Amino acid sequence: MNIETLLSALAVSPENIPLNLLLAEAYKADLNFDQAKAIYLKVLTLDSNHKDTQLKLIEVLDLQGELSEAVVRIESFCQNFPDFGEAWVLRARLSFKDDEIGKAREYYQIAMALSSKLKDEGLEKEIGYVDEIEEITDPQVGVGAQDWSPEAIGSPTNAPPNSNNEFDFLSEIEYTKEVDVDFDHVGGMSEVKNDIRMKIIHPLNNPDLFEAYGKKPGGGVLLYGPPGCGKTLISKATAGEIHSSFYSVGLHQILDMWLGKSEEKLHQVFELARKQAPSVLFFDEIDALAADRSDLKGSAGRTLINQFLAELDGAHSKNDGLLILGATNAPWHLDSAFLRPGRFDRVVFVPPPDQEARISILDILSQGKPIDNSSFKSLAKKTEGFSGADLEAIIDVATEKTIEEAMKSGKIIPISERILLKARKEVKASTLRWFESAKNYAMYANQSGMYDDIITYMGIKKP
Ligand SMILES: Nc1ncnc2c1ncn2[C@@H]1O[C@H](COP(=O)(O)OP(=O)(O)O)[C@@H](O)[C@H]1O
Ligand SMILES: [Mg+2]
């Protein structure tokens, strides 16, 4: 059918989805990608769950040269519909265009595992895919009734020969019996503090009250935001706030040494924290468990992720008195299975400090130093976009400069406003880069409104 015919048919029934799709195809054949895109967007407003149309839209974006937007969208599509094979083929093709051959092969392999009917010989040649008969487990996470007891998991079969013994492994986890920071040591962040109080501290202290209102205990809080803005600090301070012990697990670093033995290890960490309850169990860089991390792609990685989910669910041991916190700079890499009820079901944005918060952070960071704190107001005015860690760097630089001067003059002089402002010029605001990439995810991968806080913070409009 030609465009004219389709247009006149649509004049009668403008919301007819199949007709609209035909028209979009016709425009595409005409290389009129802008019109095709507009129609796909229209179809998605009629039926936002139309998966084929979502993929078509992504293809058109690619044809228009909008490769990065296409990539962002396909990533989130695959996350939401992990068993939609066509999407993995498209993702493979886009990764190839994006010079990510290794990833392209992985994604293609997932597609093949889902359905061999999706075979695309042209693409196979381009990405150098050889059909190895390799078993791939279902990419969907956390489904099915599996037994996660240590007995059922059994002893790991592929543990490296020099695998770490108990002692080494525990030494990689930061454990603090009595934490010496509480919320007073964290500047600003009043909303985040309130969230943590409401979501995990109060329920821990008043379980009956919360139950009376039908609020189930359990689940964790996921903190996300630009680096250096206090996610780790406030997690530790949460333990200080309730006088509990604090376990901190940095996942990136630890995953590698765990590979092969990791389910067992993970279970032990949870068990340790459960024994010490009440305790705060903090997982830093939780995006290390991301679905697209290549070494977690195979079945071993899946097992580990499922184990983590089962521990969060308290499937085999109760998580009473356990406050679970996670932090990440890249929440979009995290499998949506982590965010389901009872898991990290409370997601909290930790923004850069505002002017008032910067003053209080400067106050906290400069405690015990001879410093002219009447100057913090003007410094705070000039440090928009600076993280708490950046402010710490300014104080460090200023301290060094002052010590130099003090040595020359032979007496103790306070850290002055002049020196602070000079130091400020040597430190860059580090949060801006984070927002550049966060913006894309907030605009194009924000299905459940998870990143609305970023949108509000940046003062941008939803597309
Ligand atoms: N709100 C804050 N109050 C006081 N210090 C802060 C704050 N935010 C960051 N800092 C300082 O910056 C350092 C790094 O912060 P951190 O908690 O590790 O950030 P993130 O985990 O978000 O990357 C902290 O150890 C602390 O010295
Ligand atoms: Mg941190």
Q: Where are the domains of the chain?
A: 3-127, 161-349, 355-429
364 lines ligand 1 (CB under 6 A): yes
388 lines ligand 1 (CB under 6 A): yes
User: Around 133, how many Cα atoms within 13 Å sit in the side-chain half-sphere?
Assistant: 0
CATH architecture, range 3-127:
Alpha Horseshoe (1.25)
Cα-Cα end-to-end distance for the chain: 32
350 Cα nearest atom in ligand 1: 22
- The helix (run of H) or strand (run of E) holding residue 349 is strand 346-349
Q: Which of 223, 233, 363, 430 for mutating ligand 1's site (highest number of atoms within 8 Å of CB)?
A: 233
The predicted structure's pLDDT at residue 162: 38
The predicted structure's pLDDT at residue 168: 52
Cβ-defined contacts of 106-115 (< 8 Å, 24+): 106/294, 106/297, 107/78, 109/134, 109/136, 110/136, 110/139, 111/85, 111/86, 113/139, 114/83, 114/85, 114/88, 114/139, 115/85
The predicted structure's pLDDT at residue 380: 97
186 lines ligand 1 (CB under 6 A): yes
189 Cα nearest atom in ligand 1: 1
Q: What CATH number belongs to 161-349?
A: 3.40.50.300
Q: Which of 72, 284, 225 is nearest to 80 (CA)?
A: 72
361 lines ligand 1 (CB under 6 A): yes
348 lines ligand 1 (CB under 6 A): no
- The Å distance, Cα 348 to ligand 2 centre, comes to 14
Per-residue pLDDT of the chain (463 residues), as tens digits, is 688 888 988 888 888 888 899 999 999 888 888 999 999 999 999 988 899 999 999 999 999 889 989 999 999 999 888 889 999 999 999 999 998 998 999 899 888 888 888 888 889 988 988 765 433 333 333 333 333 333 333 333 333 333 344 445 556 778 888 889 999 999 999 999 999 998 888 988 888 888 888 877 677 899 999 999 999 999 999 999 999 999 999 887 677 666 667 777 788 889 889 988 889 999 999 988 876 666 676 777 778 888 888 999 887 788 888 999 999 999 988 888 888 888 998 899 999 999 999 999 999 999 999 998 899 999 999 999 999 999 999 999 999 999 999 999 988 899 999 999 999 999 999 999 999 989 988 988 887 888 999 999 999 877 6
- The Å distance, Cα 221 to ligand 1 centre, comes to 18
| Residue located via tokens 């007073």 | 184
37 lines ligand 1 (CB under 6 A): no
Query: Does domain 355-429 correspond to CATH entry 1.10.8.60?
Result: yes
Q: What angle do CA 119, 123, 128 make, to 5 degrees?
A: 105
